Amino acid sequence: MAAILESGWLYLITHFSDFQLASLGSFFLHESVFFLSGLPFIYLERAGLLNKYKIQTKNNSLAAQEKCITRLLLYHVGVNLPLMIASYPFFRFMGLRSSLPFPSWKVVLSQIIFYFILEDFVFYWGHRILHTKWLYKHVHSVHHEYATPFGLTSEYAHPAEILFLGFATIIGPAITGPHLITLWLWMVLRVLETVEAHCGYHFPWSLSNFLPVYGGADFHDYHHRLLYTKSGNYSSTFVYMDWIFGTDKGYRKLKALKCDRVEDDGKQT
Query: For residue range 64-123, what is the model confidence (pLDDT) as tens digits?
Result: 999 999 999 999 999 999 999 999 999 999 999 999 999 999 999 999 999 999 999 999
What confidence tier does 258 reach under pLDDT thresholds 50, 70, 90? confident
Our count of domains for the chain comes to: 1
Domain assignment of residue 222, given as a range: 2-268
d(CA 86, CA 178): 18
Q: Are 232 and 72 in contact (CB under 8 A)?
A: no
Question: E strand or H helix at 165, and its extent?
Answer: helix 159-176
End-to-end CA distance of the chain: 54
Residue 268 has a pLDDT of 57
pTM of full prediction above 0.75: yes
> What is the per-residue pLDDT across 192-245, written as a single tens digit (0 to 9) for each?
999 999 999 999 999 999 999 999 999 999 999 876 667 899 999 999 999 999
